[in-house]
Structure formats: C-alpha cells, structure tokens
Structure 1
Amino acid sequence: MEQSEEKVPENQERGILLMDNWPGYDLDLFTYPQHYYGDLECVLIPHGIIVDRIERLAKDIMKDIGYHDILVLCVLKGGYKFCADLVEHLKNISRNSDRFVSMKVDFIRLKSYKVTFVYVQIALSNFLLFAKDVVGTGRTMRALLSSIEKYKPNMVKVASLLVKRTARSDSFRPDYAGFEIPDVFVVGYALDYNEYFRDLNHICVINEHGKEKYRI
C-alpha cells in the first residue's frame, strides 16, 4: 500500500500528519496477537515508525532544555509505553553527549480532573515534562497544567504521542507532538479499549466487531 506525501505530510510543530483520508496499512502486512484477529480495521501507525518518531522527539527535547535536569511526569495509564521509550531515548542522548542531565520519572493518574503532586520534586525541578498518550479535547492537559501552577516549576512542557483532530477540541496544543491523527478510536501501544489491546505493539483502529466484543 503506497503512502503518498499528500496523505502523510510532516510538520515540525504538529508532528506527522495523518490526513482524514489516510487508509492505514493492511493488517496482513504485520504480526499482532491472534486473540485480536477480526477486531481491528487497520494498522494506523506501525510500531517501528512510532519508536523512530519518539527518538526524534527526544532529540528535540534535549536540544531545548540545555543543561536542565528533568522530571518526567507520565500520565497513566495509556502513556506508560510512550513515556518509557521517550525516557530511554533521553537517557541515551545524555549518555552519549558531553553533558549529563539528571532525570527522574514519576507517575500520575487523573480522576475527575483532580491531581495530587509531590511538591518537593516539582519545586526542585528545572524542567518538568508531561508525557501523555493522546491529546483530544485538551481539557485533561489544561486541568493538569492548572493543578501545578501553585508549585511554580521553572519550565513546563507537554509531549504527547498523538494529537487527535476533533470538533470538541479547545485548541490546546502540546509542545512536542508525535502524530496528528483523525478523530478515530485507536488502540495499541498501551492505548486500550476497556483495558484490552494494551499488549498490541502497533497503533491500530478498532472496528465495530472489536468494540462489541470487548464492550462492558
């Protein structure tokens, strides 16, 4: 299946753009868990492309932060694989350069837009980086950013693997975006549907059969 530049153009500020008419890749071209056979529509983003894109995000982040230490706050649950790969790339860049950047990782979960942070870590951090799986409407990230204002961190940035184009968006944009995708329900790479599909390496579009099969 051909991938034309018109369907997937690149833009530094918005990440890799997957247009609304992007058909994805045929499932038969990839391996994935057999228990999901019949539940997926297509592979939207293959695992290898995801990992390569995250490596580039890590380079962009390291270029921006200078010598500042980093506190990475992973937004659970869907962001854990993105965060793990991003942190590993950040560490590799630090190890292979003439500068050492101290890096700490913490995890947060959002419930009803209320978050409890560890004040000491945030207050002492020169660079605070949120690692999130998907930015959709933007309300979640605005709530998170509002929650940390009282801790007065020196610098705050948001990295999101995916940005979803949706009419419900409040125009929030992360500082670092991996891919901008259409308003479709995606699973895989730790993104779930009722806790299923987190073990899928590729980012895929779930079909109606899959939604019905795993509906609660």
Structure 2
Amino acid sequence: VFGLKEEAGAPPHREVPIKDDWPGYSLDLFSYPAHYSGDLDCVIIPHGVIMDRTERLARNIMDDLGNHAIVVLCVLKGGYQFCADLVDRIKDLSHNSNRTIPMTVHFIRLKSYLNDESTEDLHILGGEDLSFLAGKHVFLTSFTVKKIVAFAESQTIGNICLCRFVLSDVGFEIPNRFVVGYALDYNEYFRDLSHICVISDTGKMKYKI
C-alpha cells in the first residue's frame, strides 16, 4: 500500500523490504494446493504475514483518516482479496473505537498481463466515469498502478491515495519476480493460493496461452 499523493502533514509510512537476493521460504514449510505441485519456486510472503501486515495498514489508515469518509476503489481481479481483507480490518477497528471511517466500495476491472508480460493494451471496465471520486479520499487496491493513476487523473479526480499490497511504501517491497497467489494470477490460475509465491518456469509453461 502506498500514498501517491499524501495529505499535507500526513505521517510517513514504511514498507517491509524483501531483498533482491532473498531466495524465499521453502515450499516444504507451508501448505498449498497439491494441484500446484511443481508449479512454484518458493513462498515470498506467507499468508499469516500478509494478514498481520494488513492489520497494521488498517491501523495506519485509521490513524491518518479516522472520521473522514473514504472510497475504496477495488481493481478486479487481482486486488479483490486484499481489498476484502483490508476493508474487514478497518471495519473491525471502527467497531471497537471512538474513531470510525465511513466507507463505500467501488469496483473496476482490468486485464494487463498476457502470460508473465505486462501489455500496453489496458481495458478498464466500470471506470467509464469516475468523476464521483473527485475531492474524496480514494484508496485504490491494485497491483497495476501507473496506468490506472494516469486514467484516474485524466478524470480530474482530487485526492488519490493508492493502496497497493506489493511494491509499496506501506506494504511489501519485493524483488522483480513474477508472483502469484492471494488473488494474483497467471492466466487465471493460482488465485486460490493463500500465500504469495514465485511461479516456476514449469508453471509458466504449463499454464501458458
């Protein structure tokens, strides 16, 4: 999660860096669907760590924007799991605090990858008119950010705070490797994987289109 345009006076956030030369956790240490045997190299971020970090991100949001209404813009499909978990954590904190955050959730959908390559042809469904976001605190849950930001800014949206789980100021900064799991896919496979993992060359060839 990161803030592309931070509010004046907002406290800085830190990401959790994962070094480029870190080999990841052995798959033998974790449970994962047997139908992906041989399709993964390692676990980059275990599910439990994801959930703990999401809890911290929710607390940061509460600290920064408690009592201010926000719009959560969930980018399907890869962002749906993080969006759901983050919203749940914020709701839990709001129910047990004097500070609350009124939230609405809006969904857009895009496809930006073919196999493991990002494509220039980005189709956004549900984003035809985002003018209602103008002037609001917007949290965007997505892994494909730059093109969406350019699109959102072309819609003259005001304050945009981007919430992205990987490669971010507040979430995790990971090596430049193709990762799957936690709703991130490779040609629609691996969304049912709880951990964030590195796909193997065997997996790429197996599910290549």
Of 187, 196, 204 in structure 2, the residue corresponding to residue 194 of structure 1 is: 187
Letter in 1 for 2:147: T
Residue 138 of structure 2 is aligned to residue 128 of structure 1 = yes
CA contact (8 A) 1:186 1:205 kept: yes
Structure of greater relative contact order (alpha carbons < 8 Å, 6+ residues apart)? 2
CA deviations on 1:38-60 (whole Å, 9 max, x unpaired) are: 10000110000001101111111
Return the match for 1:147 from 126, 150, 154. 154
For residue 185 of structure 1, what is the amino acid of its counterpart?
A: F
- RMSD in angstroms over aligned alpha carbons? 1.9
| 1:161 Cα offset (Å) | 0.3
Q: How does 1:1-216 map to 2 (within 5 A)?
A: 13-110=13-110, 112=122, 115-120=127-132, 122-123=133-134, 126-132=136-142, 134=143, 139-149=146-156, 152-153=157-158, 155-163=159-167, 176-216=169-209
Q: Distance in 1 between matches of 2:29 and 2:68?
A: 43
Q: Which runs of 4+ in 1 moved over 6 A?
A: none
Per-residue CA deviation, residues 139-159 of structure 1 (Å, 9 max, x unaligned), is 32432432332xx44x32011
Write the letter of the residue equivalent to 2:164.
S
Equivalences, count: 186
Normalised to the residue count of structure 2, the TM-score between the two structures is 0.82
Cα deviation per residue 1:4-36 (whole Å; 9 max; x = unaligned)? xxxxxxxx7441100011111010111100100
Gaps of 5+ in 2: 1-11, 112-121
Match for 1:57: what amino acid?
Answer: L
Which residue identity lines up with residue 31 of structure 1 in the other structure? Answer: S
